[in-house]
């Protein structure tokens, strides 16, 4: 049984690693686009922020472990968990290859649901998947969109008589801190998803009776996420930083402040796993809309929206298809 646990831990850390390089652009794309940070400095800042954020809370990990599926105990349950991870990793790699900022959170949830259905495991639809996962995932981008719009409007009103050159210099410096705050929020959200899967495996194999998150799990997932972040994410950075809306420092700052606020609220108040990618993208769209609606490249937004819609069912399908293989292997 220990060998099976080690396999799950390794694959969960691979998921966190792919999450890191897939989502590294979330925290730094706007800062790089506005030249507040060089790409290398931005990636380093994101890696440090991801590492620190992962150590702040374990509420989301408990939600992931306890609120989505109830796999059978022992080897059969581990096959379900492994299949879910395989589905999530496969979708992360596919969307990274095509440069689409999709949701690693949705990929993991989809993998869990798909593997759970394929195995006949109990899926907590109403009390878990819908209320604790899908509702926050749908509402958080909407809040990011509206919040970004309102924050940018407030900034424009407050700065309406300020010298434009001084404003640009000031917000370029401020973006270092707002990008760091966003990286911290990304680590707070996304490292916990790998933790949750490892805790689910510990309970399934009988190593613990509760969904408490051991310290070694927190440390391992934090390091894996930071390592993945430090490896880059240039394809997705280009999509977020340039293709949606041509950001200025004040736009980048407003988007980052809005997105990080949403991440902190969902993590600490409701312990809900939301998509950093979706929240950041929606915040950029909201900020850009203050210039005029046509300033946002909605065709790119539609491409991203398609990836969002496809992520959960595609990852669920990948998890379901992986289950027969993992059942044979374990």
Confidence of residue 238 (pLDDT cuts 50, 70, 90): low
Q: What was the pLDDT predicted at 31?
A: 80
What digits encode the pLDDT tens for the residues 95-116? 777 766 677 888 899 999 999 9
What digits encode the pLDDT tens for the residues 140-189? 989 999 999 999 999 999 988 888 889 888 999 999 999 999 989 989 99
Query: CB-based contacts of 105: which residues, under 8 Å, 6+ apart?
Result: 137, 189, 190, 193, 273, 274, 275, 276
Q: What was the pLDDT predicted at 99?
A: 67
Contact predicate 153/20, CB 8 Å: no
What digits encode the pLDDT tens for the residues 46-57? 888 888 998 898
Q: Which residue has the higher pLDDT, 28 or 259?
A: 259
Identify each DSSP E strand in 72-212 by its residue range.
122-123
Q: Which residue has the higher pLDDT, 244 or 109?
A: 109
Residue 8 has pLDDT above 90, yes or no: yes
Q: What was the pLDDT predicted at 174?
A: 93
- Kindly state the percentage of the chain with pLDDT values over 70: 92
What digits encode the pLDDT tens for the residues 176-223? 999 999 989 989 998 899 999 999 999 999 999 999 999 999 999 999
Summary mean pLDDT of the chain: 87
Q: What was the pLDDT predicted at 64?
A: 93
Q: What is the mean pLDDT of residues 19-26?
A: 72
In the chain, helix, strand, coil percent, each to 5?
80, 0, 20
Q: For residue 186, give the nearest of 304, 21, 23, 33 by alpha carbon.
A: 23
Q: What was the pLDDT predicted at 91?
A: 85
Q: Which helix (H) or strand (E) holds 266?
A: helix 249-268
Q: What is the mean pLDDT of residues 237-248?
A: 63
Q: How many residues does the chain have?
A: 330
Q: What was the pLDDT predicted at 232?
A: 61
């Amino acid at each position: 049984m220990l060998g099976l646990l080690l396999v799950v831990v390794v694959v969960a850390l691979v998921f966190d690693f792919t999450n890191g390089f897939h989502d590294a652009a979330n925290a730094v794309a706007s800062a790089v686009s506005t030249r507040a940070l060089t790409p290398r400095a931005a990636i380093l800042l994101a890696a440090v922020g991801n590492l620190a954020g992962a150590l702040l809370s374990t509420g989301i990990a408990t939600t992931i472990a306890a609120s989505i599926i109830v796999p059978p105990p022992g080897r059969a349950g581990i096959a379900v968990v492994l299949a879910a991870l395989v589905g999530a990793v496969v979708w992360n790699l596919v969307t990274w290859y095509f440069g689409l900022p999709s949701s690693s959170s949705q990929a993991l949830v989809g993998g869990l649901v798909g593997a759970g259905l394929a195995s006949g495991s109990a899926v907590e639809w109403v009390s878990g998947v819908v209320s604790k996962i899908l509702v926050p995932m749908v509402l958080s981008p909407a809040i990011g969109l509206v919040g970004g719009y309102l924050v940018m409007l407030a900034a424009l009103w407050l700065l309406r008589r300020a010298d434009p050159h001084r404003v640009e210099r000031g917000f370029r410096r401020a973006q270092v801190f707002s990008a760091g705050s966003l990286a911290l929020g990304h680590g707070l959200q996304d490292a916990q998803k790998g933790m949750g899967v490892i805790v689910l495996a510990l309970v399934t194999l009988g190593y613990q009776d509760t969904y408490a998150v051991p310290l070694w799990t927190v440390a391992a997932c934090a390091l894996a996420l930071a390592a993945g972040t430090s490896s880059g994410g240039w394809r997705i950075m280009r999509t977020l930083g340039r293709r949606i809306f041509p950001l200025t420092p004040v736009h980048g700052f407003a988007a980052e402040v809005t997105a990080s606020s949403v991440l902190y609220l969902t993590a600490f108040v409701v312990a809900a796993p939301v998509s950093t990618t979706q929240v950041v993208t929606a915040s950029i769209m909201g900020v850009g809309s203050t210039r005029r609606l046509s300033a946002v490249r909605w065709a790119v937004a539609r491409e991203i929206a398609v990836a969002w819609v496809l992520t959960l069912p595609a990852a669920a399908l990948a998890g379901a298809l992986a289950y027969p293989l993992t059942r044979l292997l374990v």
